[in-house]
Amino acid sequence: MIRVFLVDDHEIVRCGVADLIDDEDDLVVVGQASSAGEAMRRIPAVNPDIAVLDVRLPDGNGIELCRDLRSRCPDLNCLMLTSFTDEQAMLDAIMAGAGGYVIKDIKGMDLVSAIRAVGSGRSLLDNRAAAVLKSRLQAATESSPVTTLNDQERTLLELIGQGLTNRQIAGEMFLAEKTVKNYVSRLLGKLGMERRTQAAVLAARLADTHTYSEQPRSRDVNSQPVGQQDVSSSAKIGGWPIGRVPKSR
């Protein structure tokens, strides 16, 4: 039985989704909330398998809520449900650890299937979200500066692509957290980027096309080899592979 918690400030939306779930033998709604604050209080107490989160909430942001919830409840799966297509919000949701991102006009049974899939630990995006993300990923690597990166910088980029925080990266690379912060800033500058999310999108694209292993690496006498992480694809939507959504640790 997959335990579902619903978070949306519109009661009619929560009730509609709850009615769909009630018709399924393997799904059950264990709680509802109309705000981020209420969700943060209630979800850890009822320990659901999946939280269905509206991106826009009256007291906060569903994406930040996803990140905060997964920090407190690492085993919680999150599905973002929104009434609009926002490319940056979609990418931010994925990097926050969301297992999927669907639009509210999705068909009822498709939404149920999405809840079942994400609640079981799988990753998915609906077809439109997948198309937008694919376009952004392709654009991000049209002029890839990856060939200028040394081994350590490539490893750092891969770990950013997995959604790891600076603290988690520090543990993986056996570095001080402050050092990682400085390295990330230097990496973004080298890539000509301003936001960490941009680097994460680039990393996902490179992993998907196996670019890491195909391109020669720049050598830096000051870099130290660090074991690389596998960022293989784990799901396909419409025939296009979607990279594994990173989970908070």
pLDDT in tens, 69-80: 988 998 999 999
pLDDT in tens, 5-54: 999 999 999 999 999 999 999 999 999 999 999 999 999 999 999 999 99
* Cα dihedral value 157, 91, 67, 74, nearest 10: -70
Q: Residue 232: pLDDT band by 50, 70, 90 thresholds?
A: very low
pLDDT value of position 133: 66
pLDDT in tens, 91-113: 788 778 888 888 888 899 999 99
Structure tokens at 159: 């770990």
Which are the contacts of 184, defined by CB distance < 8 A and separation ≥ 6? Answer: 156, 160, 166, 169, 196, 199
Coil, strand, or helix at residue 103? strand
Q: What is the rounded radius of gyration, in angstroms, for the C-alpha atoms of the chain?
A: 19
* CATH number for the domain running over 139-226: 1.10.10.10
Provide the pairing of β-strand 56-57 with 60-61.
antiparallel
| Highest mean predicted confidence (pLDDT) among 92-96, 127-131, 172-176, 218-222 | 172-176
Residue 243 has pLDDT above 70, yes or no: no
CB 2 within 8 A of CB 28: yes
| Pairwise CA distance, residues 47 & 44, whole Å | 5
Share of the chain above pLDDT 70, in %: 75
How many CA atoms are closer than 13 Å to the CA of 19, on its beta-carbon side? 7
pLDDT value of position 241: 32
Give the closest residue to 78 by CA, choosing from 46, 117, 45, 106. Answer: 117
Coil, strand, or helix at residue 31? strand
* Domains of the chain by residue range: 2-125, 139-226
pLDDT in tens, 174-206: 999 999 999 999 998 888 877 887 788 788 777
pLDDT value of position 147: 73
Superfamily of domain 2-125: Response regulator (3.40.50.2300)
CB 159 within 8 A of CB 169: yes
pLDDT value of position 208: 61
Burial of 223 (0-12, 13-18, 19+ CB in 10 A): middle
Q: What is the pTM of this model?
A: 0.57
